[in-house]
Structure 1
Amino acid sequence: MSIKWLTKRFTIVLIPGAAASVRRFHLPYAVAYAIIGVLLAGGTLAAFFYARHAESALVNMGLKQQLDGLAASYEQQLTDKNRLLTDKNRQLEEMQNKVIALSRQAGEVKQQVEEMKKLESDLRSYSSDTKTKEPAHTVSKESPLFRQKEGIGGTEIPATELGIEQLSKQAGLSFENSSKQLAALQGSFTLVKQEVLRKARELRHTPNLWPSDTHRITSAFGYREDPFTSRPTFHGGIDFGGPVGSPVYSTADGVVVEAGEDKARGLNIVVEHKQGLRTWYMHLSKLQVEQGDTVQKGQTIGLLGNTGRSTGPHLHYEILVNGEKVDPELYLNESKGDK
């Protein structure tokens, strides 16, 4: 039965056209089924390989996407790391510059403290010295108080962490020491300020001002030959020669207790100050105050003249302490512009 089936044939008829003859092909069943099997097997294999190719393509696409994502993430991380590193370096440089600036400020504060200590010392000297017109010490032009922006330069040598650390420690110690000195100076300055103010008030009532613009002394305090009688006499003041009409100043704050004229003293003024002090101005050409007036140090109270017992234009100036005449030159210290 099976052998008979194998001997059967398929007949394939080809009719090319009306004029051509018909062709017939006889194909055994076994061959036909073999061809069909081969075609089916080939299709199956093709479908299998296509499916595997599609699967591989999908896998490759997924892997590529993952790789692209990883590459982008790595690049972003690298960018972020570089940016963080740049920011860190910039912040480090800013901190180092701040330490340098603080160190410079610490040096300036230290120098200012030294200036203040010198000034405090000079103020103490000023408050205890009646002959001192003003503190001898003045702030140096090299002090930070006077420092101005000027040209700077030099080679660039990068700062080191060790150098900045040492600089920071030095600045901290400098600030600490300056703070302690400033605290001590604060109390000292308060006492000195009170003493200086007291001294200033005292000086306002101390007749240490020159009574005229001229400093030309024509006759000193003490014994002399009298210009009219040629006899030895005592001269109780100082005579200042000058032009008629030049101003005569009160040499300290006070009250006018006398303002008038007599034969010997001419037009004259007596001003009473504190601590038993009085000043007397004689031979004036004009009085500019009256008895009872309050006068200030340096105020014009009259004009130089040649009245009374006088050989020529001059100012006779006396200082009395508790009624006793003393040498005015012991008090003369300031001109009107220095008062």
Structure 2
Amino acid sequence: MIWGKKRYTFVIIPDANSSVRRFEVPKLIPYIAGAGLLSLVIVTLTLYVLHARTAMVASDLQTRVKSQDTLYATTVQEKNQTIEQLQNEVINLSRQTSDMKTQIDDIRKLEDEVRTITGSDKTTAAVNSASSGLAMGGTNRPATDDEVQDMLEQTRTLLTDMNEEVDKLKHSIVNTKEAALAVQKKQRVTPTIWPVDSRTITSGFGLRQDPFTFRPSFHSGFDISAPLNSKVHVTADGVVQSTGSDSLHGNNIVVSHSDGLQTWYMHLNKINVDKGEKVEKGQVIGLVGSTGRSTGNHLHYEVLKNGVSIDPKPFLK
């Protein structure tokens, strides 16, 4: 209490000619002012430190936000690129699916042609027109999600239909192959080719005037004019039933085929096969001559069904 009543006297001397001024203040005031100043300094330093830390945190957050923004922009860009790439792949898949469908239709069309050749029943094949040109144009508008989804649905449906088509096509091709092999086998054993290169028929099948007696007679085959030693080809796969020579037929060969068919080659100059030998369609079995009852170089070609001579014309293509 006594210490609090004490006072400090502050003397202010402006200059030598001015009067002196005195101020008395309680002794406690300077301590209070010092304490307040010290508190103000501490508060200022504290606020400065807090501001500095806040600035650092804000700077760090700003850096993080920029980094996240950059990462987000990069992610969005990569996602957009991925989506665009997937859309292009969907478009390419749809185009490839359409091309494959066209190829399947082409295979069906080819199968129909094979069936026509083999004489089988013809199926109906719908052929889609595919765009094979490279010229393109139009406005540049990004594809929407709905459009891509529609294309996916169409492609999915088309692929499902194609799977069914492929399954049917497999069975159909197997049947066509079997039919083609059967036709091929039948063609091999059916005398459908010409026995010589010449197509000059000097005497046909049926009634004619005999070249020696000039009387009406029945001619059981085709006389095909050809130069001496022209190659004679067997007209179907078979087995040589007989070879021989006599005054009527000259050097001759009989070949047996399937279904009771036989072919007979007469007036040969030379025989190149032996009895019992297997021969293949188109194989050279002899040479054209004029042996036996003949007026000149030619081949007498005869087709027999169950031992009876028939007209060779329907067989020759």
TM over 0.5: yes
126, 130, 137: which is aligned to 1:154?
A: 137
- 2:235 is paired with a residue whose SS is coil
Tell me the distance in 1 between the aligned counterparts of 2:117 and 2:85.
Answer: 47
Count of residues in correspondence between the two structures: 295
Residue in structure 2 matched with residue 84 of structure 1 by the alignment? 75
Aligned AA for 2:208? R
- 1:306 is paired with a residue whose SS is coil
Residue in structure 1 matched with residue 224 of structure 2 by the alignment? 240
- 1:202 is paired with a residue whose SS is helix
Matched, 1:327 2:277: no
What's the RMSD between the two structures over aligned residues? Answer: 3.2
Deviation of 1:299 after TM superposition, in Å, equals 1.0
Question: What is the 5 A alignment of 1:241-280?
Answer: 241-280=225-264
Tell me the distance in 2 between the aligned counterparts of 1:288 and 1:228.
Answer: 29
227, 251, 256: which is aligned to 2:211?
A: 227
Deviation of 1:47 after TM superposition, in Å, equals 4.5
Tell me the distance in 1 between the aligned counterparts of 2:40 and 2:289.
Answer: 138
Tell me the distance in 2 between the aligned counterparts of 1:67 and 1:152.
Answer: 57
162, 169, 172: which is aligned to 1:188?
A: 172
Question: What is the 5 A alignment of 1:16-95?
Answer: 47-95=38-86
Tell me the distance in 1 between the aligned counterparts of 2:156 and 2:97.
Answer: 8
Tell me the distance in 1 between the aligned counterparts of 2:228 and 2:74.
Answer: 88
Matched, 1:126 2:117: yes
Contact 1:112–1:143, Cα closer than 8 Å, also in 2: no
- Runs of 4+ off more than 6 Å: 36-43
Tell me the distance in 1 between the aligned counterparts of 2:129 and 2:200.
Answer: 41
Residue in structure 1 matched with residue 16 of structure 2 by the alignment? none
Residue in structure 2 matched with residue 16 of structure 1 by the alignment? none
Deviation of 1:213 after TM superposition, in Å, equals 1.9
Question: What is the 5 A alignment of 1:207-222?
Answer: 207-222=191-206
Q: Percent identity?
A: 36
Tell me the distance in 1 between the aligned counterparts of 2:136 and 2:110.
Answer: 34
Tell me the distance in 2 between the aligned counterparts of 1:151 and 1:105.
Answer: 15
Tell me the distance in 2 between the aligned counterparts of 1:73 and 1:313.
Answer: 107
Tell me the distance in 2 between the aligned counterparts of 1:68 and 1:222.
Answer: 116
Tell me the distance in 2 between the aligned counterparts of 1:294 and 1:69.
Answer: 98
Residue in structure 2 matched with residue 13 of structure 1 by the alignment? none
Aligned AA for 2:165? Q
Deviation of 1:49 after TM superposition, in Å, equals 4.4
**TM-score, normalising length: structure 2:** 0.81
Query: Residues 273-325 of structure 1, C-alpha deviation per residue, up to 9 Å, x if partnerless?
Result: 11111001112222111111110111111122222222222221110000111
Tell me the distance in 2 between the aligned counterparts of 1:38 and 1:304.
Answer: 154
Structure 2: gaps (5+ residues): 8-21
With 206-215 and 103-112 compared, the bigger mean Cα shift is at 103-112
Tell me the distance in 2 between the aligned counterparts of 1:94 and 1:240.
Answer: 72
